[in-house]
Structure 1
Amino acid sequence: MTTNAAPLSPTDRTTVQRGKHRVVDDREQLHGFLAEALVAHVGVVVGDHPVVLPCAYAVDLAGPDEGGSLYVHGSVASVWLRHAVGSTVCVTVTELDGLVAARSAFNHSMNYRSAVVIGRARLVEDEAERARALDLVVDQMVPGRAATLRTSTRKELAATAVLAVPLHEASMKARAGGPGDEPEDVAAGTWAGHVPLRRVADPVVPAPEATGPVPADVAARAAALAAR
């Protein structure tokens, strides 16, 4: 169930306390950012200590969870995944957009976009939802790729677990532009500026056994990233 009109930070757990001038309060901007990024970090308590692990992810705004569903997947043998089921987890997605070289150490910074989603992780057991979630994870990396692939085998599906986290509790912050220096530091004449960063793709490298041209979906993805 999508709730695009809901406030972006609906609870105390996802209300930004510091740097409020960098808060993004438009839920559609969150959706757009999650559609663009590639890597999520999932934080979960495993026994007596927290673990934060990178993973591929995907979002289904029409998913059955409140606000839509954010999906992550992993091996059924993963210790972190077993502990995540039924527990409150924190999913963070970040894109680094620049390095900010200020006139003082205190004002050095980074340009970024970052989203935090907090919620109870649900094990996806419905076969249709699970298949759709796995297709979405593939398409997050290469849009349209899932439709070109063979059907997953029973063994592959049995070895894979999918978790869903509601998108209801989320926050997003972003920073762009140059440094925010003190007037006296500006007057001193020290150089300042920022280094823009962007994610780009090099030319596609076929596997040694690959034959024929690069598939259209892979070529299109590489071209889109190379043009950024």
Structure 2
Amino acid sequence: MTSTATPAASARTTVAARRVRRLPDRQTTDRLALHDLLDSELVGHLAVALDGVPVVVPMGFARVDGHVLVHGSTGGGFALRAASARLPVVFSVTALDGLVYARSLFDSSMNYRSATIQGVLEPVSADEADAALIALSERLMPGRPAEVRGTRRKEVAATRVLRLALDDVVMKQRSGGPSEEPDDGEDHSSWAGVVPLERRWGTPIASGLTPAGTPVPDSVIALTTRNAPSDRLE
């Protein structure tokens, strides 16, 4: 499942970024910035046109090397149909980092990072399925796979992992305060600035069938107590 971006892929990324017309100064082709965004968010939106009808579904995902991994049921689902028909899809991920309060509604904005990935979903081969499911689980619930029973064969058979190459990507981002100048004609006695958005995990709640006094597992403790400013999700 290892994959790295080829020179051709990097070229496509650059070409894709040049399609940005609105506020092109906010575009970036920095691969590390893309990886940071994908590694700090847990949910993206997968879009495809099926039978002439647009469909968009939020999905948990994980980045593994040069691909985004998603999964679904082998019993159906639009993602599997899109992969089987080799239809072009779009996968979008956005992180909202704060609201930007300017001295007018027109100039107010958001601090954000967003990426739109275009391509064709590829099924992960059967011999890679276990590793792919573990990679997804480790991304969404770090450390949890080692604490629970192994995945049963029928569960693996009922699940299909798909991947989308990070070859054709458009990424935009904004940071910093409101656009302002000393001579912009605005009343500077009116407050302007940024309200950062911070997220954190809450106190774990045991299920109804979990016996009282059952210790909270290490993976949950690690998730709810970590405090790393570089992590967008705390």
The answer to whether TM tops 0.5 is yes
Residue type matched to 1:129 in 2?
E
| Aligned-residue offset at 1:135 | 1.1
How far 1:152 moved relative to its partner?
A: 1.6
Q: Give the deviation of 1:149 after TM superposition.
A: 2.5
2:61 maps to: 57
Cα distance in 1, alignment partners of residues 12 and 35 from structure 2:
10
Provide the residue aligned with 1:105 in structure 2: 105
- Counterpart CA distance in 1 for 2:228 and 2:52 is 44
Q: CA deviation at 1:142?
A: 1.8
Alignment partner, residue 194 of structure 2: 194
Please list, as runs of the form range in 1=range in 2, the aligned pairs for 1:162-201 lying within 5 A after superposition: 162-181=161-180, 183-187=183-187, 189-201=189-201
Residue type at the aligned position of 1:57: F
Residue type matched to 2:67 in 1? S
**Which residue of structure 1 lines up, in the alignment, with residue 38 of structure 2?**
34
* Aligned equivalent of 2:51: 47
TM-score (norm 1): 0.86
Q: Which moved more, 1:178-187 or 1:194-203?
A: 178-187
What runs of 5+ residues in structure 1 fail to find an aligned partner?
Answer: 62-67
Give the deviation of 1:189 after TM superposition: 3.6
Counterpart residue type for residue 19 of structure 1: L
Contact 1:14 1:170 in 2 (8 A): no
Gaps of 5+ in 2: none
**Alpha-carbon distance, 1:8 to partner:** 7.8
Q: 1:21 aligns with which of 25, 28, 34?
A: 25
C-alpha RMSD of matched pairs (Å): 2.4
**2:129–2:156 CA contact under 8 A, matched in 1:** no
Quote the Cα distance in structure 1 between the aligned partners of 2:137 and 2:18: 28
Aligned length: 221
1:160 maps to 2:159: yes
Rate the CA distance shift 1:8–1:210 in 2: closer, same or farther, 3 A: farther
Q: Specify the alignment match of 1:70 in structure 2.
A: 68
2:220 equivalent to 1:221: no
Structure-2-length-normalised TM-score: 0.84
Provide the C-alpha distance between the structure 2 equivalents of 1:13 and 1:74, rounded to a whole number of angstroms.
Answer: 30
- 1:14 positional shift: 7.0
* Residue type of the alignment partner of 1:194: V
Q: Aligned to 2:13, what secondary structure does the other structure show?
A: coil
- What is the DSSP-based 3-state SS (H/G/I as helix, E as strand, rest coil) of the residue aligned with 1:84? helix
Task: Measure how far apart 1:97 and its partner are.
Answer: 0.9
Offset of 1:199 from its aligned partner? 1.8
Deviates more, 1:208-217 or 1:86-95: 208-217
Distance 2:77 2:162 in 1: 14
C-alpha contact (below 8 Å) 1:75/1:161 kept by paired residues? yes
Identity %: 37
What letter corresponds to residue 117 of structure 1 in structure 2? I
The CA deviation string for residues 73-118 of structure 1, in whole angstroms up to 9 with x for no partner, is: 1122343123321211111111111111211221121111111111
Report the CA distance shift for 1:147/1:127 in structure 2 as closer, same or farther (over 3 A).
farther
Amino acid corresponding to residue 214 of structure 1 in structure 2: V
Deviation sequence 1:46-90 (CA, Å, 0-9, x none): 2111111100101110xxxxxx22111112234312332121111
Residues 48, 103 of structure 1: alpha-carbon distance in 2 compared, 3 angstrom cutoff: same
- Provide the residue aligned with 1:133 in structure 2: 132
Report SS of the residue matched to 1:186. Answer: coil
1:23·1:172 contact (CA, 8 Å) conserved in 2?
yes
8 Å CA contact 2:44–2:60 kept in 1: the answer is yes
